[in-house]
Amino acid sequence: MDNNRRNFLRRLAVGGAAMATGAHAWGTTDEQMEQSQQWEKSGQRFNMCGYAAPKLNTVRVGIVGLGMRGSDAVERLSYIDGLEITALCDKYPDRVAAAQQILAKMKRPKAKEYSGNEGWKALCESNDVDLVYTPSPWSLHTPVSLAAMRNGKHAATEVPAGKTIDELWELVETSEKTKQHCMMLENCCYDFFELLTLNMARQGMLGEIVHAEGAYIHDLTKDWLFNKKAYADMWRLKENIGQNGNLYPTHGLGPIAQCMNINRGDKFDHLVSMSTSDFTMNNLAKELAAKDDFFKEYTDQPYRGNMNTTLIRSNKGKTLMVQHDVSTIRPYSRIHLVSGTKGIAQKWPGPQRVAFGHSWLKPEELKVLEEKYAPPIVKHIGSIAKEVGGHGGMDFIMDWRLIDCLRNGLPLDQDVYDAAAWSSVFPLSQRSVAKKSRTIDIPDFTRGAWQLNKPVDLTLNGGASTGVRNIKPDLKM
């Protein structure tokens, strides 16, 4: 056995003992609370990182947007105990009706219905909703979340949380003022290897994290972007016109930002971004327009470049690389890579793998590591999540964790500062690309609180009490 593997096994044994005696349980510390109180007295806002809202015995959920993501969410959420879907909203009434059928299939009560262009406003103003869950088109993410919080409701929004820096600051300030959670539904933070990597980083197995990489590389052109039956009013295709940068950064960025304690001990400082030209989208639009006049308006448009690469440097001198490409033919990849002074973890492309030296662990060694460092949330709900589904189970882990935190009065894994910082790459990468890849500063949405905020907690201390409805006979808690 070489020295690298010997050292790995020694660290594995020590790490396992540390977990057995109890890992850190991060909550709202006295120091954080004192700081928040000082901020409020000085006219500044409350620090939402580590904030535990009052417990909700039953979380009443209103869902805005019932297309592909929304209809799936209706079914997933229906498995969770201590939750009632009390309101459904979509621009199109037939989608609301279809969602009601899902509730009926799941043996859930019928929900109140909202529809039309502004039905979401009435939903946010209603008295029978605690959490507004928004898997809508991007343009509605910020308006719906703001309306929810201003009406005394927590907000959970699909990615990105906002499209402009002004929108992101408004989300931060509104969450702080109302003390309502604003969580971005970044499901990739709850994928199994990403959670394993985060726990390994927490336990020191990778040493000091120096560099990380993430991406969203997924060919969406023919089946999704240019499919008339996919996104209503072709909204997703339209988002790719006139905006040249990383338009979808958070799937790759969120998990590695958590591993690097961004907003919790470190922060994003600045970025540079570069895009290729468009070599596929205009060509496809012209090809389709030759057969179907519907696509003529989509020819000769300023589409974003096919591949965008953005480099971020943190305040502590660490780097993150994030890529975005949804319009060239290549295998799906989110690249998850975390590199530290003692080891490296990598997934996409190829099988997940870990190394503590110049060679990757053997499969049997990786299996031992996975068993030792699977975080409590995976051990508790992982097998059920795989049965329920949603991108292999990560969607259900995310939903279950959100509801469990709200029911137990626990801080959320993702707060409004994460939503803002991760989403800020959307507009800031465009600024850098437009300026020939010049450096662009990234705002500190925590206003300095990152120096005191504590890392994401994976211990489930005080939680894990939320059950799952045993609708499928093979689902067991």
pLDDT for 143:
98
What pLDDT band is residue 350 in, cutting at 50, 70 and 90? confident
Provide the angle, in degrees to the nearest 10, between the axes of the packed helices 376-388 and 394-408. 120
pLDDT for 28:
47
Give the separation between CA 159 and CA 156, rounded to whole angstroms: 10
Per-residue pLDDT tens digits for 178-206? 999 999 999 999 999 999 999 999 999 99
Bridge pairing between strands 131-134 and 59-64: parallel
What pLDDT band is residue 92 in, cutting at 50, 70 and 90? very high
For residue 4, pLDDT over 70 is answered with no
DSSP letter string over 347-384?
A: -SSSS-EEESSSSBPPHHHHHHHHHHH--HHHHHHHHH
pLDDT for 37:
57
Mean pLDDT of the chain: 92
For residue 384, pLDDT over 90 is answered with yes
Cβ pair 136, 163 in contact under 8 A:
no
Per-residue pLDDT tens digits for 385-401? 999 999 999 999 999 99
pLDDT for 349:
82
pLDDT for 469:
85
For residue 367, pLDDT over 70 is answered with yes
Q: Cα separations (Å) of 112 from 90, 109, 250?
A: 12, 10, 32
Sign of the torsion angle spanned by Cα atoms 321, 346, 398, 177 = negative
CA-wise closest residue to 74 among 53, 95, 46, 55:
95
Strand order in the sheet with 344-346: 353-355, 344-346, 337-340, 209-217, 319-325, 308-314, 268-275, 440-441
Give the separation between CA 166 and CA 153, rounded to whole angstroms: 21
Bridge pairing between strands 344-346 and 353-355: antiparallel
The end-to-end CA distance of the chain, in Å, is 40
- Per the listing, tokens 């030209």 go with 277
Strand ranges, E, within 32-111: 59-64, 83-90
Rg of the chain (C-alpha set): 22
Per-residue pLDDT tens digits for 435-467? 999 999 999 999 999 999 999 998 998 999 999
Answer whether CATH 3.90.950.10 is correct for domain 188-376+413-451: no
For residue 36, pLDDT over 70 is answered with no
CATH number for the domain running over 52-185: 3.40.50.720
Give the separation between CA 475 and CA 181, rounded to whole angstroms: 30
Cβ pair 210, 266 in contact under 8 A:
no
Number of H helices, E strands in the chain: 16, 14
pLDDT for 146:
98
Q: Cα separations (Å) of 406 from 56, 59, 172, 173, 285?
A: 6, 7, 19, 21, 45
For residue 273, pLDDT over 90 is answered with yes
Bridge pairing between strands 209-217 and 268-275: unpaired
Whole-number percent of the chain with pLDDT over 90 = 87
Verdict on whether the full-model pTM lies above 0.75: yes
For residue 472, pLDDT over 60 is answered with no
Whole-number percent of the chain with pLDDT over 70 = 89
For residue 23, pLDDT over 50 is answered with no
Q: Cα separations (Å) of 148 from 19, 178, 398, 423?
A: 39, 10, 20, 19
For residue 35, pLDDT over 70 is answered with no
pLDDT for 25:
33
What pLDDT band is residue 110 in, cutting at 50, 70 and 90? very high
Say which DSSP state 111 is in. P
Instruction: Give the start-to-end residue ranges of the domains of the chain.
Output: 52-185, 188-376+413-451
The predicted model gives 74-82 an average pLDDT of 97
Cβ pair 440, 55 in contact under 8 A:
no
Give the separation between CA 27 and CA 436, rounded to whole angstroms: 43
For residue 19, pLDDT over 50 is answered with no
Least confident of 54-68, 81-95, 407-421, 454-468: 454-468
pLDDT for 31:
57
pLDDT for 39:
54
For residue 289, pLDDT over 90 is answered with yes
Helix, strand, coil % in the chain, rounded to nearest 5: 45, 15, 40
pLDDT for 187:
98
